[in-house]
């Protein structure tokens, strides 16, 4: 139980570092200087987005045999390791929504949209397919997002300048790679 939350938290917190939604948190914080509605918007968007992703991951487990699923997940985690090495850039259009819906609404909408098909959403799908409790995975992945994004809101660009994103991405990639190798080894043991 605790392992599911800790792994989900760690994987997503590392994957989120330097991600476009973290950059969006920097942008919204610099623009609005209202951390509470920004943080609450991030939380709501993440719960909704990762809740859907977790449900998708659980649903996938009903369609595939454990062996097939294990192979897919193992290679998916390794692909995530490679993808994590490529940092994201924020698109200006995502920030323009902010003017229409207030700070909380803009954060919720832009974060939800920015997370669609993002590394952390795909990781949530994979983690939910890998672990038996979608609820614990979503708690962990949401916690990971908050760990990565709340400091971005409070510290803004000063934080980004002091942390080596290349190092953080390297660590995240290594975690994904290890998860992939462990998953593939478990599949070969079951075979």
In the prediction, which pLDDT does 127 show? 93
DSSP assignments along 59-82, one per residue: HHHHHS-HHHHHHHHHHHHHHHHH
Judge whether residue 71 has pLDDT over 90.
no
Q: Of 79-83, 111-115, 147-151, which range is least confident?
A: 79-83
Judge whether residue 115 has pLDDT over 80.
yes
List C-alpha distances in Å: 11 to 62, 115, 184: 24, 15, 18
For the chain, what percent of residues have pLDDT higher than 70?
A: 84
Over range 134-149, report the average pLDDT: 96
Of 137 and 88, more confident: 137
Domain coverage including residue 22 = 2-190
In the prediction, which pLDDT does 87 show? 60
For the chain, what percent of residues have pLDDT higher than 90?
A: 32
In the prediction, which pLDDT does 148 show? 92
**Phi and psi at residue 17, to the nearest 5°:** -65, 120
Residue 52: which pLDDT band, with cuts at 50, 70 and 90?
Answer: very high
Q: Residue written as tokens 């909408």?
A: 109
- How many domains are there within the chain? 1
DSSP assignments along 78-121, one per residue: HHHHHHHTS-----HHHHHTHHHHHHHHHHHHHHHHHHTT-HHH
> Rounded to the nearest 10 degrees, what angle do helices 2-16 and 165-190 cross at?
140
Judge whether residue 105 has pLDDT over 70.
yes
Cβ-count burial 25-61 (b if 16+ within 10 Å, e if not): bbbbbeebeebebbbebbbbbbbebbbbbbeebbebb
Of 79 and 131, more confident: 131
Residues 6+ apart with CB under 8 A from 143: 5, 8, 9, 12, 13
Q: What pTM was computed for the model? A: 0.75
């Amino acid at each position: 139980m605790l392992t599911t939350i800790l792994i989900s938290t760690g994987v997503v917190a590392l994957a989120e570092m330097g991600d476009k939604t973290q950059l969006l948190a920097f942008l919204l914080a610099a623009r609005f200087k209202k951390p509470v509605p920004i943080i609450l918007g991030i939380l709501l968007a993440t719960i909704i987005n990762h809740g859907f992703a977790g449900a998708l991951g659980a649903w996938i487990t009903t369609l595939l045999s454990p062996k097939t699923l294990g192979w897919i997940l193992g290679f998916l985690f390794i692909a995530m390791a490679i993808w994590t090495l490529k940092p994201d850039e924020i698109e200006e259009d995502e920030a323009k929504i902010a003017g229409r819906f207030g700070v909380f609404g803009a954060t919720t909408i832009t974060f939800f949209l920015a997370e669609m098909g993002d590394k952390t959403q795909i990781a949530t799908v994979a983690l939910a397919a890998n672990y038996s409790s979608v609820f614990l995975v979503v708690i962990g992945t949401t916690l990971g997002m908050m760990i990565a994004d709340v400091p971005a809101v409070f510290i803004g660009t000063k934080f980004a300048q002091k942390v080596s994103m290349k190092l953080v991405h390297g660590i995240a990639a290594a975690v994904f790679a290890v998860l992939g190798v462990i998953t593939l080894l478990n599949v070969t043991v079951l075979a």
